[in-house]
Structure 1
Amino acid sequence: MEDVVQKIHEGSTLWKVRGVNKWFHRHYKVDIDNMSLVGESKKWWSPGGGTGSDGPENAVPLIEITEVREGWKTDTFNKVSSHSEKTKDKAAAGDEPSLEENKCFSIIHGPGGREVLDLVAATEDERDAWVSGLTHLVQSVKALHEEKQYDVWLRQQFEEADKDNNGSLNFNECCTLLKQLNIKMDKTHAKKLFNQANTSKQKRDGDQVLEVGEFVNFYHALLKMPEIEKLFKKHASEKTQLMSADQLCAFLHKEQGLIDLDESQATKLIHEFEISDLKDQGYMTQDGFYHMLLSDMFDIFNHEHKSKVHQDMTQPLAHYYISSSHNTYLTGHQLAGESSVEGYISALKRGCRLLELDLWDGDEGEPIIYHGHTLTTKITLADVLRDGIKAYAFEASPYPVILSIENHLSVEQQKVMVQLLKDILGDMLATDPVSEDITAVPSPEALKNKIIIRGKKPQGSEVESDDDDDDQDAIDYIDSDDGAAQTKKKPHKPLAPELREIINVCEGKKFTTFHDAFENYKCVHTPSLGETKAKGLIESSPDDFIRFTERHVTKVYPLGTRTDSSNLKPYPFWSVGCQIVALNMQTEDKANFYGDALFTTNANCGYVLKPDIILKKVPYDPTDLSDRYTKIVRVTVLSGQHLPNSAKKGDIVDPYVQVKVRGHPLDKQKQRTKVIKNNGFNPVWNEALELSIKV
């Protein structure tokens, strides 16, 4: 592996592919010191004969790389390879690039893995070297202690601040960089720490300067937290200023309430978090103690719940909240955004278990996916199934994936769709018919590693209206004068027998009234409710709604007017037991924050067991809350560190902490600490907040 790493450190010239007509010849290499991938700008080539320049290439930190894929496994490669196949351009002559799958690879990076760098090597061996070498380095960087990862990032900030590339920064340059990192400091104190960090005693133009390693030490010295120092001194040896396993055990019992933790487990913590060689002697320094307390293990959130499925997974599917995405294929706007396989990959990687497929007849005789009657781009069902769903369905969770089919296909292409599902997904596809006698849908445990098809099975002369669709076409709203979609009756599309056969445990069903549903629904019937309709049912019949969702998986989807891919608030629908609240996962907002918070409680496996009151296992009337279940939650906010500036408010940071409760309307409340003026560096509140929660 050393030879491979050396090879990609020296670099090679690759083709960067951005589309059918644009290929860029670039020299790429891995900067080992800064753990980043860098590329030098060179000319581009296109099959049409054009050339040009694409500007300089930005460095990609290895810590931000989420995946290195071999072959044609991205939207760009799928389009380019398809075009090349049609034009017989796959093997070009001379200097022109050769698009052979065994020479292609892709680097997925950036926040949420949303950036893709598609590259073509000169040979298969060169491609393999890049794939194996990058994968090894990325895994190595991510395996580093959290502090070491942060140090790599700090080194990158230092390199960017070193404008004249002399490898050092003086005090004023350090202060400028620290200000950019939102470190506000007392300059006298900072100067003292700066001088202490300058162990090499280097000078430039008469001023003391710090090398990159010294700057990292200077930065960490500035970030010492007084309250943690105080805790450490209280429990560590006064003589050695070190903490032994038995002293750490005493701290964890007394201060953290971890009374079941024994000395051997404390020793393991020392080995995990202590950076110095003292861990081999069974001692923890203040730095190790600091990193332990700021680790995920000591997060306010239960670490075991984040890392391990701990709930009963053998109850009927209807007893669980299900992590669900809306228009999974879209990466942006609902009317003119990009449709992408990456939308499915990203959703599956974060534990999402319900994906939407909006299917339309394709010109090539195979189904395509896009947001119908809009300007969104189109992708093929085959690419989504092969490169997205089959490859990633069970990477983050073994529990069942539900494919919610929005069927706009002709009978002929429905048959093609079913054949693609069977050919590509194989044994993953749940095809067994369900008994007419079952009274509850199977459990997540029983459906492990299975992919379920959710779709409608209209009978005879049934008609459906636009609001039966899981997603009313956004164009319907634009065409109406008042911005409200017109409900139009239309005959149901004929359903291919082959498709009817593979819809089993999740059969879409039109909702009319709770009375009708209680009388006529089978347990496998799963209605879809628009945001407005579902809100109305919560207001008029919350108890019936809870009773209904105890047995039936119910989906709620956003209004078609949300063309900007904004989201509904999910918690009102969760509070009446709705299992599937579909969210635009490409949008970073509060709704997805709430979703992440909920599903983290069961290791992000995509299923969270509903509470007993929602499952009617204990008496509960959502319209009449007594004090029977009231709990008092007390949160003590101690301090903060390195808080970011608000882009809206300029450079001054006046931080406070706000704790909110969201769920039942009567529980909606918030408490906040006092404001700490002009201190985003190390504010201290030490303030207790108290919240009364009825449900």
Structure 2
Amino acid sequence: MSRSNHTYFQVCFCFRRRFKAPVSEAPAEIKTLFEQYSENGIMTVDQLQRFLIEVQKEDKPTREDAQRIIDGFKHFRHTGLNLDAFFKYLFSVVNPPLSPSLVAHHDMAAPLSHYFIYTGHNSYLTGNQLTSDCSVVPIINALKRGVRAIELDLWPNATKDNVDVLHGRALTTPVKLIKCLKSIKKYAFVASEYPVVITLEDHLTPDLRPKVAKMVTRTFGDILFCPGSECLKEFPSPESLKRQIIISTKPPNEDLDRKEVKDKETSSVGGKALDEEEGCGKEVPDDKDFDDGDKSQLPAPEYKHLIAIHAEQPKGGLDDCLRVDPDKVIRLSLSEQKLEKAVVTRGKQIVRFTQHNLLRVYPKGQRVDSSNYNPMIGWMHGAQMVAFNMQGFGRSLWLMHGMFRANGSCGYVKKPDFLLNSGEVFDPKARLLPVKKTLKVTVYMGDGWCYDFRKTHFDICSPPDFYAKVEIAGVPADCVMKKTKTIKDNWVPVWNEAFEFPLTVPELALLRIEVNEYDTTSRDDFGGQTCLPVSELRRGIRAVPLFNREGAKYKSVKLLMRFDFL
């Protein structure tokens, strides 16, 4: 190597080091707060406890709580926190914007209809709706994230003697139903112990339903919820259904099944149908595939009895669909288009229907790219199962992720009381609602991009020009977006900007934060995002981690922010 080349690499190496580890300094307001709660440059246990009470609004923090923080961040020569240690504590993972506890804290003893449920659409697709592969991988990923409702489309396989899962009338490659069921059983309760609902879109012939019944009962065994009655009069609670699997689909029309069987003029019956003893108590080992050669052509009441949540599409108009039957509860499905049309004239009627029954909303058929829609339209009308394509990304999916960060990320979020009030039914279209509270958001600074530059795709040799967008998503009266100034050429941007958001329905509001790099010649470059339920924000100064487009958390990228309610 020549001397000139050697010198070049030395300079380049030093340049990269200089920008990979920029010095992060406490903003001016943090320094001022430290001075208020310290003496002679040190914050003692008692002073930190007072800070936790007065600024962080913690619920009865003890001296022991303060001491644990000091023990984790103090400089070895001090008995308290100096400014650097205090700043490191505020900007650390032990100081998140939501409760760090992954434990459900909402009332979980109400009927399922009282909860928003983390719901997937075409959960088996790896990409677009027309040509992508069908696989257990997206099902597993969804369950690991905390999704509690998985959709499977059931079709006869090419030889008509077994069952595949695929998006019908498209070019998607199938995956075996038994593989999907086994994956659901293995991963159902990794992220949450609350029940998983499997919604089946049934395109089966009558002779295949006994096979599906046997697959389901033998795979799930005792964790399969089998109701004692044909149709539930009221839904059980998530608490009572912990670690159970629930099947939801439209019950087969047995008269049509019998006619189809008769039309086939089949005289032979291979195998035998499931009897009562084989119903909900037996299972096969996970490492065995399922193919018992059952060729039964008889209708399968066992399949019907596995359906805990009946999906119905009543004949007639929308009024018939939304009629509340006091003797049973059902699940109704509407496309996003039908919902948007229905809420114009029947908003209160939909809210009333969802107080007792389940409403599932799904993406319109034109979304072949697996994009999603605005989930708020469904949620503010009480729809429990707003079904999303979880394999995509974008603002709508980020809102979905944000909603279900609430309640310990268990996949069930209790609906606000006003959506459950049978007296005065909530009108989501009301424009003159009073402001209940005002959220004040301060964006101090950001850090971590230089450490995650390979994942954030920024040029390590060119510090970005960052700005932050702060947005409220909720009922129409609350929706607003604000933006910070752009900080040029800085890996550690300091904004120190505050925004106020008057909220009429804070119970449904989500705070969405997105950082981008300003670009004068092309589309601004994405720098990270997060979405947080306003109802569960921890007040005070918090370290807010950012996520990539797909919803995966960056290792180092975060913002220092403050949240207050006025």
Q: TM-score range by the shorter chain?
A: 0.7 to 0.9
Unaligned runs of 5+ in 2: 258-296, 506-566
Mapped to 2, the partners of 1:412 and 1:245 lie a distance apart of: 72
Structure 1 residue 428: deviation in Å? 1.1
How is 1:25-424 mapped onto 2 (pairs within 5 angstroms)?
170=10, 172-176=12-16, 179=19, 219=21, 222-227=23-28, 228-229=30-31, 231-232=33-34, 234-238=36-40, 241-258=41-58, 260-271=60-71, 273-274=72-73, 283-299=80-96, 301-304=97-100, 307-363=102-158, 365-386=161-182, 388-424=183-219
Residue 172 of structure 1 deviates from its aligned partner by: 3.9
> 1:572 aligned to 2:377?
yes
Task: State the Cα distance separating 1:368 from its structure 2 match.
Answer: 1.3
Deviates more, 1:571-580 or 1:374-383: 374-383
Greater mean deviation of Cα atoms: 241-250 or 511-520: 511-520
Residues 530, 174 of structure 1: CA spacing in aligned structure 2 closer, same or farther, 3 A cutoff?
same
CA shift, 1:517, in A, is 3.6
Q: Is the 8 A contact 1:642 1:680 kept in 2?
A: no
Task: Name which of 458, 466, 490 aligns with 1:655.
Answer: 466
Q: Is the 8 A contact 1:637 1:685 kept in 2?
A: yes
Q: Is the 8 A contact 1:504 1:524 kept in 2?
A: no
Q: Tell me how far 1:499 sits from its aligned partner.
A: 1.2
| CA 400–618 in structure 1, closer or farther in 2 if over 3 Å, else same | same
CA deviations over 1:361-393 (Å, ceiling 9, x no partner): 12463311111122212211111122x111111
Alpha carbons 1:312, 1:609 under 8 Å: kept: yes
Q: 1:591 offset after TM fit, Å?
A: 1.6
Q: Secondary structure at the match of 2:116?
A: strand
Q: Give the unaligned 5+ runs of structure 1.
A: 1-163, 182-218, 464-492
Distance in 2 (alpha carbons) for counterparts of 1:355 and 1:516: 23
**Stretch moving more, 498-507 or 635-644:** 635-644
- Structure-2 residue corresponding to 1:452: 246
Which of 483, 491, 498 is the aligned partner of 1:681? 491
**1:615 maps onto 2:410 in alignment:** no
Query: By how many angstroms is 1:582 displaced?
Result: 0.7
Deviation at 1:286, TM superposition (A): 4.4
Q: 2:180 and 2:457 mapped to 1: Cα distance?
A: 38
What is the CA distance between 1:574 and its match in structure 2?
0.7
For residue 538 of structure 1, report the CA deviation from its aligned partner: 1.1
Residue aligning to 1:30: none
Looking at structure 2, the residues matched to 440 and 665 of structure 1 have their Cα atoms a distance apart, in angstroms, of 32
Distance (whole Å) between structure 1 residues aligned to residue 365 and residue 298 of structure 2? 25
Query: Cα 1:254–1:171, aligned 2, differ >3 Å: closer, same or farther?
Result: farther
How far is the alpha carbon of 1:495 from its aligned partner? 6.3
Q: How much has 1:237 moved relative to structure 2? A: 4.5
Distance 1:630 1:236, change over 3 A: closer
Q: What SS does the aligned partner of 1:546 have?
A: helix
Tell me if 1:537 matches 2:342.
yes
Paired residues for 1:540-559 under 5 Å: 540-559=345-364
Q: CA deviation at 1:516?
A: 5.3
Aligned partner of residue 624 in structure 1, secondary structure: coil
Measure how far apart 1:175 and its partner are: 1.9
Deviations along 1:333-380, whole A, 9 cap, x unmatched? 111112111111111111100001111112463311111122212211
CA distance in 2, matches of 1:400, 1:685: 43
Aligned residue runs from structure 1 range 617-636, under 5 A: 619=424, 620-636=426-442
- Check whether the contact 1:612–1:618 (CA below 8 A) recurs between aligned residues: no
| Alpha-carbon separation, structure 1, partners of 2:203 and 2:389 | 21
Contact 1:457 1:495 survives alignment (8 Å)? no
Amino acid at match of 2:218: D
Counterpart AA for 1:671:
K
2:302 aligns with 498
In 2, are the aligned partners of 1:320 and 1:610 still within 8 Å (CA)?
yes
What per-residue deviation string (whole Å, max 9, x for no partner) do you get for residues 470-492 of structure 1? xxxxxxxxxxxxxxxxxxxxxxx
Matches within 5 A, 1:469-480: none
The TM-score normalised by the length of structure 1 is 0.60
Contact 2:146 2:191 in 1 (8 A): yes
Distance change in 2, residues 1:636/1:347 (3 Å)? same
TM-score computed with the length of structure 2 as normaliser? 0.73
**2:130–2:368 contact (8 Å) kept in structure 1:** yes
Q: Tell me how far apart the structure 2 counterparts of residues 462 and 541 of structure 1 sit (CA, whole Å).
A: 34
Shift in alpha-carbon separation, 1:330–1:661, aligned structure 2, 3 A: same
- How far is 1:592 from its partner? 1.7
Larger radius of gyration: 1
Tell me how far apart the structure 2 counterparts of residues 360 and 323 of structure 1 sit (CA, whole Å): 25
Deviations, residues 646-665 of structure 1 (Å, cap 9, x unaligned): 97999574433322222222
Matched-pair identity in %: 32
Within a 5 Å distance, the mapping from 1:664-679 to structure 2 comes to 664-673=475-484, 675-679=485-489
Looking at both structures, which has the greater relative contact order when contacts are Cα pairs under 8 Å and sequence separation is at least 6? 2
- 2:134, 2:174 within 8 Å by CA — same for their partners in 1? yes
Q: Relative to structure 1, is the Cα distance of residues 445 and 506 closer, same or farther in structure 2, using a 3 angstrom cutoff?
A: farther
Residues 557/277 of structure 1: CA separation in 2 closer, same or farther (3 Å cut): same
C-alpha separation between the residues in 2 aligned to 1:546 and 1:230? 49
Q: Distance in 2 between matches of 1:564 and 1:495?
A: 38
Q: Alpha-carbon deviation of 1:681?
A: 2.4
